[in-house]
Structure 1
Amino acid sequence: MALDFVGIDPNSSDGESPTVWVDKEHKELVFQGWKPSPELEAECAALELPGHGAGIPEGEAVVRIPARMVHMIREACDALERP
């Protein structure tokens, strides 16, 4: 698997590096972000929506990405849609 680097949080300090990549082979966005607080994770896990039962399934995670990285996420989405 080859990931294409899109960007890293410009406000990152040593040891903190929310990052965005594109996996073109699998047509996926890949994020590295901060772990949520236990309260936020519990709130996400408690949501029951159509097609989304309560809980966080094994193999999934809640990840926080700063809003200042929205342009990188858009760039990653555009990269996946290009032929």
Structure 2
Amino acid sequence: MPLRFIGIDPDTKTGDSPTVWVDQDKQELVVQGWKPGPQLEAECAAFEAPGHAVGIPDDEAVIRIPARMVHMIREACDVLERTDAR
């Protein structure tokens, strides 16, 4: 099944497009956002918590999305919960 488009940043400009999708087959949110910049990425990489390795694995990324997109994240979560209930 293809990705289900949920929404794009309402303040998007040409080429500036944080976006939210749902992969219903894999039960995952898929998010496109801005690169965090070296200072924030370093802060995230240094984060320590139980069960959380220090650093950012090569197959993971830190991204930023604007708070105005929170409702899209909620909608994507609702889609996944409905899909999971089937």
Q: What's the TM-score, normalizing by structure 2?
A: 0.94
Show structure 1 runs of 4+ deviating over 2 A: none
Deviation at 1:22, TM superposition (A): 0.2
Q: Matched residue of 1:10: which SS?
A: coil
Q: CA RMSD, aligned part only?
A: 0.8
1:1-83 alignment to 2 at 5 Å?
1-82=1-82, 83=86
What runs of 5+ residues in structure 2 fail to find an aligned partner? none
Number of residue-to-residue matches in the alignment: 83
Question: Which residue identity is paired with 2:73?
Answer: I
Question: Which residue identity is paired with 1:11?
Answer: D
Instruction: State how far apart, in whole Å, the 1-side matches of 2:58 and 2:41 are.
Output: 14
Question: Which residue identity is paired with 2:36?
Answer: P
Instruction: State how far apart, in whole Å, the 2-side matches of 1:58 and 1:48 are.
Output: 18
Instruction: State how far apart, in whole Å, the 2-side matches of 1:16 and 1:53 are.
Output: 31
What runs of 5+ residues in structure 1 fail to find an aligned partner? none
Q: What's the TM-score, normalizing by structure 1?
A: 0.97
